[in-house]
Amino acid sequence: MNKLSLITGATSGFGEAIARKFAANGHSLIIAGRRTERLEALATELRNSHSTQVLPLTLDVRDRDQVTQTINALGDEWKNIDVLVNNAGLASGANPIQDGDIDDWDKMIETNVSGLLYVSRAVIPLLVKRGQGHIVNIGSTAGKEVYKNGNVYCASKHAVDAITKGMRIDLLEHGVKVTQIAPGAAETEFSEVRFHGDKEKAKSVYNGYKPMEAKDIAELVYYSTSLPSHLCINDLVVTSLAQANSFYIDRK
């Protein structure tokens, strides 16, 4: 089998674009997410267009038992994972802390923090056993700075930032690379999910400037995983030209 990559959150946005980029460059893929139909459709498309092997896995990263059992039940050939992209994640709501919806908070912490940990805990022993591999965690500029009404989402991405650093230290002696890609605003389904399906409000996030696209992030993830074996990008913060950080966007 070619280089084998497991991508979480491959039904949309960054994850889907990363799957396309990896498949176009000869990777075999395990693609995971909750929306089975989208996974099946993407798997069929990538198998047809790139003659690559693709295994779709319906998986809710918040479900610890499901994650553990699904990864443990992979056939031997699918256990030789070279690259794990921990991408599944979401923002839910954007309220001041005093008005926050606790269900939104739970959803973000369970997905962005616990979910990333559950998948990692199941996959890392497979990498350690082979003494090689690469974990790419999708963080955010929200993991670098805290902005108004970002409270819990920002906290969850700060956790990703810290977990990434911790992983890199612990996996150092095992030859496993650990990279964080921390994007600013990119137009995907992210804002629609954040604003609970309000398309108008979601669209307004990108008014007056050119945000990044999912394929931009896919380029960077692919770049970070294609470097010579002695090189590891530790942390890569990336925004569109119009964005300086979480606070400053040049809207015309």
Q: What does the binding site for ligand 8X3 look like in residue numbers (CB under 6 A)?
A: 140-142, 150, 184-185, 246
Nearer to ligand 8X3, 141 or 179 (CB): 141
Three-state DSSP state, 87: coil
Report the distance separating Cα 50 and Cα 115, nearest Å: 30
Residue list 165-194, contact with ligand NDP (CB under 6 A): 183, 185-186, 188-190, 193
Residue of 158, 203, 193, 204 lying closest to 14 (CA atoms):
193
Report the distance separating Cα 2 and Cα 29, nearest Å: 9
Report the distance separating Cα 128 and Cα 53, nearest Å: 24
113 within 8 A of 143, measured Cβ to Cβ? no
At its nearest, how many Å lie between ligand 8X3 and the CB of residue 139?
Answer: 8
Nearer to ligand NDP, 12 or 130 (CB): 12
At its nearest, how many Å lie between ligand NDP and the CB of residue 230?
Answer: 28
List 9, 56, 93, 133, residue binding ligand NDP (CB under 6 A): 9
Report the distance separating Cα 180 and Cα 135, nearest Å: 8
Give which of ligand NDP, ligand 8X3, none residue 246 binds (C-beta under 5 to 8 Å, depending on kind).
Answer: ligand 8X3
Residue of 151, 145, 157, 155 lying closest to 95 (CA atoms):
151
At its nearest, how many Å lie between ligand 8X3 and the CB of residue 126?
Answer: 28
For β-strands 133-138 and 176-183, DSSP reports them as parallel
At its nearest, how many Å lie between ligand 8X3 and the CB of residue 206?
Answer: 11
The beta strand positions in the chain, using DSSP E, are: 4-8, 28-33, 54-58, 83-86, 133-138, 176-183, 186-187, 212-213, 235-238
List 20, 27, 50, 62, residue binding ligand NDP (CB under 6 A): 62
Cα of 2 vs its chain's centroid, Å:
22
List 5, 7, 13, 78, residue binding ligand NDP (CB under 6 A): 13
Give which of ligand 8X3, ligand NDP, none residue 210 binds (C-beta under 5 to 8 Å, depending on kind).
Answer: none
Residues marked as catalytic: 153
- With contacts defined by CB under 6 A, how many residues of the chain interact with ligand NDP? 31
Nearer to ligand NDP, 100 or 128 (CB): 100
Interface positions with ligand NDP (CB under 6 A) = 8-15, 33-35, 59-62, 87-90, 111, 115, 138, 140, 183, 185-186, 188-190, 193, 214
